[in-house]
Structure 1
């Protein structure tokens, strides 16, 4: 498959990488927060990662990739992780305990940072906070991520849209997005209600989606 990845500086120092797959009418996004300790959010599939790496290196311009955040174990979230680590061996994956166990089954176990909901990772210019994510298909415990200083919420598959959506930002309503989380996304009604209650406590300025247009408030 010939993958084309488009890059844009979509919000402050956040860079978006997008690839559109016409047969399923879906755009896949990865993000680089170009902070003091750069962090990549998701890798894409192996094919997407191969197209991503040259652009990632160009933007980093010799800087070290510090972290790779993986919200849950699925091909577009971490399918190219081994390839990213080959090119950036000093980078450390960040994920939940369940995701770490899944990655270890594919030989990725070194220097993985396991985070729990409510924990934070703080550098000189960002504050990452981790949120429980009962991710589909099997409600494996994953993580959602918010960067508190900039107000960027990385929604993974919770805020979802079809179509081609590179460098697309629309006005959003946070409560509407939370209320719109479906049983197909989180099938357990109790877990879904708890997640919605947790998200309602947040006040993001920008939602960096895994698929579809990003949102600003």
Structure 2
């Protein structure tokens, strides 16, 4: 089974580790009146992530399934989840729906516009359009206003079977991993453009206190400072 850690009140990190890649793949499950799963994870990890989710709540009660962009670790097992959660709906951006999800998903998605709020009970999720950040035209992120958690997708990615939550050092880890990646075929995973820093500055202005990172440890602390540090890191690439 994947590991399960509550990284913020009612927000659970469900993490599978790929030893061959030395890389963690995390999904996030939010317990609420209408539970939300963010990142479906890879199809190959479905059974383990599903079992981990079942240790938190009945997966059949999941109501919303979100993800940043169309990529296997983001939404590869979407239809497996939809088959197990009869009332679940995918949530994605307009571009995501038009280019991929309308065709791929076994159930029509709910399309969320920029800055639209999705209410699940006690939580409000704000959709933030971040085209091409971390990558892909359809990219967006979600911000949980209560508790100030930002679902970061591939931002701050770093390798290793690391601890679930850290309180410092996230930029150093990201810098080390990014530098190493630049030397191989997986380089330039984030297409740095003139819009990259403004988007990251806008995310920093939300003052998140928890960064829910898909690959590597999540972070608790001054998320705004971490996001500005990430912008500085990308400026140097």
Please, which runs of 5 or more residues in structure 1 have no aligned partner? none
Distance 1:61 1:138 in 2: 32
Structure 1 pair 138/65, CA: closer, same or farther in 2 (3 Å)?
A: closer
Matched residue, 2:219: 215
1:164 aligns with 2:129: no
How many residue pairs match? The answer is: 210
Matched residue, 2:204: 200
Which has a greater percent of helix? Answer: 2
Query: Deviation above 6 Å: which 4+ runs of structure 1?
Result: none
- TM superposition shift of 1:206: 0.6
Distance 2:127 2:206 in 1: 12
Task: Determine helix, strand or coil for the equivalent of 2:56.
Answer: helix
Using structure 1 for the length normalisation, give the TM-score.
0.86
- TM superposition shift of 1:173: 7.5
Could you report, residue by residue, the CA deviation over 1:30-76 in whole angstroms, capped at 9, with x for unpaired residues?
Answer: 01011221100111111111222233234214771110111110000
Please, which runs of 5 or more residues in structure 2 have no aligned partner? 180-186, 222-237
Task: Determine helix, strand or coil for the equivalent of 2:212.
Answer: strand
Could you report, residue by residue, the CA deviation over 1:110-136 in whole angstroms, capped at 9, with x for unpaired residues?
Answer: 331111221111243111111112246
Structure 1 pair 210/172, CA: closer, same or farther in 2 (3 Å)?
A: same
1:172–1:216 Cα contact (<8 Å) kept? no
Matched residue, 1:56: 53
State the superposition RMSD in angstroms: 2.7
Matched residue, 1:132: 129
Task: Determine helix, strand or coil for the equivalent of 1:202.
Answer: coil
Which has a greater percent of strand? Answer: 1
